[in-house]
Amino acid sequence: MADQWQEAFDHAVAVARKAGKVVRDALQNEVKVMHKSSSVDLVTKTDQKVEKLIIASVKEKFPTHSFIGEESVAEGHKCELTDNPTWIIDPIDGTTNFVHGFPFIAVSIGFAVKKELEFGVVYSCVEDKMYTGQRGKGAYCDGVQLNVSALKEINHSIILSELGSNRDTIVVNKIFSTMQKILCIPVHGIRGCGTAATNMCMVASGAAEAFFEIGIHCWDIAAGAAIVREAGGVVFDVDGGPFDLMSRRMVCANNKIIADRIIKEIDVFHVERDDAKK
């Protein structure tokens, strides 16, 4: 990572920790839920409050930078990745977990310049763990360097995925078909934390060998992708091609051997890109 972005990285870590405290405090109070696209696609006042906190803090420090925020996009702001330094923000990754008090909730902040990820910061709020990855400088959790698992045998692996919020029968059938095929390779198990950012940090830390999902958004995975890469892992599209932050489809793994084996089993379904014109 260019040293010129060190100040931005330091600010991201500080504001993520501040945002995480807001999330933890909110967990002690009544959680007011509003629905987005469906009864399983949730948003809370805390999501909106945390995103505004992060963006206001960054705008004050870096007034020329751009933003892609989950709640901003939900309110109608364009989801566009340009060459300008861009903060990609998920104020609460794992909103459903947050609503239910399920203890995997993350603040996720990715930072891209010229459409390339420069760093990622994921703060696991309840665990009080700070995961970071800076381009060319490695990945860390609370100052301890992260390294992906060395396993190359998928039948010894733990694979992570999520069911998503789409309840269309055809989509759900494809998701379960993929999981069944991967489970029966066989693998040791399939898990999911309920937050893409945390799942990716599990891959980066070596606790799992891979994570895949179709239907996620750029703000879910930008920070995690930077962290996985800096921990020695790989990130691909679900068809095996290059990772596309806006495609809403991704496989990350400890190595290409594991990634390729998973890609072979995925029943792909269509999702609209994040940057699709409205």
Active site residues: 70, 90, 92-93, 95, 220
Cα end-to-end distance, the chain, whole Å? 34
Rg of the chain (C-alpha set): 17
DSSP state at residue 242: B
Where would I find the beta strands (DSSP E) of 125-221?
129-134, 138-141, 144-145, 158-161, 189-191, 210-214
Let me know the angle formed at the C-alpha of 94 by 131 and 275, rounded to the nearest 5 degrees: 90
